[in-house]
Structure 1
């Protein structure tokens, strides 16, 4: 997968975590992503019913894994306290592309486990 990342100052561990989680989710690398999720994580794809629990989260991602991202662009990552947000775009293997914004809440301000994710995803034209 081709990565397009905005340079960062490199001194923000939560930004690094969010960057890596975004890459893991886009490539469906669940072995690397799952350890960062709380057991009762909630994932809300806006417009759909929330997915609750680590196993349900895994199953939902596995169901989507047939069309991996061939290119991922991360424009912005913002963190503050127990919260973080990432904005970017994905070009998928089938040629479709999406803009996304994910909003994270951690179980604590240390940012070690993700408690909830709210994802806004919108289909785009053919380029990113």
Structure 2
């Protein structure tokens, strides 16, 4: 079996979807659009940066365990499918299934993200 080396776009997508936003932030296109299905889209680097900073702050005291984390990579797109268990400081648990679809431009910058998330019974 051949060993497959992660491409740059896969590394960026995996960083974003695993909440390592500091690695993905420099790779956001200025005109990025992030659609979290069910919410209004966030348009532009500034709006997306603000949202991920808020998410990072919310997760600062939460333990995240990925029970599933896989990627599918195309030429200019990456899909990340995950199942995560979040445990807060009080011990409350949330289990979330998510799928993030990333589109990249020719310079390997994220131009669009579509995120589907569902909280499951814990």
Task: Return 5+ residue gaps in structure 2 as ranges.
Answer: none
1:1-128 equivalences in 2 (<5 Å): 9-13=3-7, 14-23=9-18, 26=19, 29-64=20-55, 65-67=57-59, 68-94=62-88, 95-108=93-106, 112-126=108-122
Instruction: Find the structure with the greater CA-based Rg.
Output: 2
TM-score (structure 2 length as normaliser)? 0.79
- TM-score, length-normalised on structure 1? 0.76
Judged with a 3 Å threshold, the aligned counterparts in structure 2 of structure 1 residues 73 and 42 are, in CA distance, closer, same or farther, namely farther
Q: Which deviates more, 10-19 or 86-95? A: 10-19
1:89 positional shift:
1.2
Q: Which runs of 5+ in 1 are unaligned?
A: 1-7
Quote the RMSD (CA, aligned, Å).
2.1
What do residues 4-54 of structure 1 show as CA deviations (whole Å, max 9, x unaligned)?
xxxx9332313333223322xx2xx44322101111111000011000111
